[in-house]
Amino acid sequence: MSQETDATRFHEWDKLAENWITTEESFDQDFPTKPFDPASRTYSSVAEWVVEVIFGLTVSNDSAGKGSTLPGYDIKSRDAYQMIQLSLATELAEGTGHLVECYADGNGVVHFYTIGETRSNVLGSQIFYKINTSTLSKRCDNVLVLGYDPPPKRYTGESFNLFTFKNSIQKGWSTALDTALTDDKESVPYPIYHTWGEILGPEQCPYYKEGYIEYGDTFFDHNLVLQKMNIIDSSKFETVSTYIYKIHVPWFEQASTNIKFGNTTPKFIELKGTGGNPDFGKLQERTWQTTTKYIASLCRDGKEPEADRGKRLPRSNERKFLGVREVYIHGYKLKQIREDYYGSGNDRIPGGSNFIIDLDSALAEPFRLTRGQDYVILDDPDDREYKRIVFSANIHPDYVENFGGSIDGTIKATVRVSPASIYDPDTKGRVEFIDLYDPNETYTGRLKDGETVVNNQPDGLPFSGPVTIFPINEGQSGYIVEKIVVIYDWDNPCIAVHDEENKVTKENLRLITVDVYPMIVRDEKPPISWTHGGQTELLDPTEIIPDYEVATIEDLDSTTYARAFTSLETGDIKITLPFLDANECMIVSKFIYDMQNEVIKQTNYICSPDSEPVLGELIDGKTINSIDYSYQDSSQYLISVNAGPMWMGISGWDTSIYQNKTEQIQLKGIVTGVDTNQIKCQVMIEQIGVMDCINASKEILEKGDRVAVTIHNNPVAK
């Protein structure tokens, strides 16, 4: 499916995420997480289906419908009779609980009969004698029954605004969060917009190519935040596997606009002094090291500058400050700087300004400085928590007087345009002067850009008054500084926006929206019933969910849920019957507990040939468990009936506290088909065959991919 519009993109999963955005309700419709309705099947019981379809036998009319469809089971690779038993085991939850067994009569008709509920028609006169063979009491203190464990399901939660998410996180939720929130010193709510063009000025159209939308730390890795913001519900055992970002840029242009996510933000900081003027602080004098090159002393030998050198970097003491990325001077490039005078020799006359300058344009531009050459970043000697930037004076000592001031101070100077930079507006050639530098004659023209009107007087430039000059090339050229911009690396995430058509203004950045869709995986726990001391209760698995607050101490071992499992001993029972709901788990656990704690009395009845005992029926309140026919001759034909407890499996239960009926297994497979929503896939699984599977990961699957498949509720024979 294509994206919604040209202005909308889904980060990482463009053209796919649209199909992934599904509500929990639609997920349940497509992928049922509850036992399938048996009424929609031809056979309402796996036991009945196995007998008639697999074995080719007939099930009696009174047995039809007994058992379950065993939803979610892999029955293809299991023992057939085991599946009959497991299907009939679902009858444990019927009424107050009862057992159903399977047998075939003499005509080959299979019966599913209920044990211990029908009174035998064997009369007292038909019983010759009886013998009590044994009495056994085996105490069981605890019975745990686990019910249906729904497989994990994946769906998309409600979307939220990425840029404003941090504003809703409050102090007091946890100690760790309070520390992180305290570290954030921003005085305005998020988002914060940064653009080169806005920093440099409205006339800088060519620099509206890049900008950044800074937003606060989302704390997506803090489960407590996700709970407080109602993104996940811990009581439903929800976690977030990944996030989908829906980016909407109304002014998006293909092949021009580019959006990227960044872990840190470039933050633009202007260095200003008194009155808002650009301020370098005092420059650090360089030392002549060779005949061709100057190197700042502090760069060469690591010495700290003098205390009054440089400028303290604002907010560099905050934890969000990671360092300095770049430093720019925004101003005018001076091709040449010379002392302002005219005449020569003894006739040398001051020209009225400190310097005469050559320049081509009065349009300010940004110029990048070189770290280690033009500036260094050091600890502030006045306060080590801050950083200080120190600029070096790129001037040969022989030319210091050309600047008419102290080399270690902020240079404030007056300038006028060199006649060599003034062009005749008519001929577009340089204006002819009798004395090029004589200010007594006013000569007007344009700079080389053809637009800026200037003259050779001290006030002949568009900017007037003293200027700040940053010298380069030993002071023979430099920059008239309008702004000093230091770009910090700031520990906040951002969206970086680039546009080749210079559309990145603050107004346009405010039109960009990013909606976040959390991809939630819900792995609810099965219902668990605990019968102990004659009482039955449902366990609450949410009791062992931590509160994610590092400052608190939780005693999760003393909860009822934890005590139920730690109290199991030899002779106790823990069984998984994944076809049971919560209420049925309680019925079954009480039934097993009562049967297991019943005093076992077994009796052999010797009956006459005309008696008709039936397995599972009651005789003297005992369940008929076996019938033996003894025939020697016409005078010695007897029927031996063994009757005792209904729960004949008791001798097997006391060897272990665990009687698992299902397990989770992981098998390898190959994807043979993928639905467009990337949630449902068809996989050829080893040992099993093709099955519909749910993609619970964030990976995009394709036909032929090799995957690992987890199969839930896989039956185990024990």
- Measured on CA atoms in the order 7, 13, 16, 18, is the torsion positive or negative? negative
d(CA 458, CA 440): 11
Q: With beta carbons less than 8 A apart as the criterion, state whether 481 and 283 touch.
A: no
Percent of the chain exceeding pLDDT 90 equals 20
> With bands split at pLDDT 50, 70 and 90, how would you rate the model's confidence at 259?
very high
The pLDDT, as a whole number, for residue 599 is 74
Query: Does residue 295 register a pLDDT over 60?
Result: no
H/E segment holding residue 143: strand 142-146
**Tokens 């309402």 map to which residue?**
44
Query: Does residue 579 register a pLDDT over 60?
Result: yes
The pLDDT, as a whole number, for residue 74 is 66
- Any idea what DSSP says for residue 272? B
pLDDT digits (tens, 9 = 90+) for 187-240: 889 999 999 888 887 666 678 899 999 999 999 988 888 988 999 988 888 989
The pLDDT, as a whole number, for residue 486 is 95
CB atoms within 10 A of CB 425: 12
> With bands split at pLDDT 50, 70 and 90, how would you rate the model's confidence at 265?
very high
pLDDT digits (tens, 9 = 90+) for 496-510: 999 999 999 999 999
Q: Tell me which amino acid residue 356 is.
A: I
Question: Which domains can be identified in the chain, with CATH numbers?
Answer: 34-115 (no CATH), 145-152+524-596 (no CATH), 157-264+492-522 (no CATH), 269-490 (no CATH), 663-718 (2.40.50)
The length of the chain in residues reads: 718
> With bands split at pLDDT 50, 70 and 90, how would you rate the model's confidence at 713?
low
Contacts (Cβ under 8 Å, ≥6 apart) of 601: 132, 134, 135, 622, 644, 645
The pLDDT, as a whole number, for residue 211 is 94
Query: Does residue 315 register a pLDDT over 90?
Result: yes
**Tokens 């911009």 map to which residue?**
485
- Average pLDDT for residues 434-450, to the nearest whole number? 74
The residue that leads in pLDDT, 553 or 636, is: 636
Contacts (Cβ under 8 Å, ≥6 apart) of 390: 281, 284, 298, 305, 309, 310, 311, 375, 376, 378
The pLDDT, as a whole number, for residue 406 is 38
Query: Does residue 485 register a pLDDT over 70?
Result: yes
Complete DSSP assignment for 486-544 = EEEEESS-EEEEEETTS---HHHHTT-EEEEEEEEEE-PPPPEEEEETTEEEE--GGGG
pTM value is: 0.74
Q: With beta carbons less than 8 A apart as the criterion, state whether 532 and 590 touch.
A: no
> With bands split at pLDDT 50, 70 and 90, how would you rate the model's confidence at 693?
confident
d(CA 430, CA 445): 9
The pLDDT, as a whole number, for residue 562 is 86
The pLDDT, as a whole number, for residue 138 is 64
> With bands split at pLDDT 50, 70 and 90, how would you rate the model's confidence at 286?
low
d(CA 20, CA 10): 11
Poorest-confidence range of 452-456, 536-540, 585-589? 452-456
> With bands split at pLDDT 50, 70 and 90, how would you rate the model's confidence at 411?
low
Contacts (Cβ under 8 Å, ≥6 apart) of 442: 455, 456, 457, 460
Percent of the chain exceeding pLDDT 70 equals 80
The pLDDT, as a whole number, for residue 3 is 42
d(CA 349, CA 32): 96
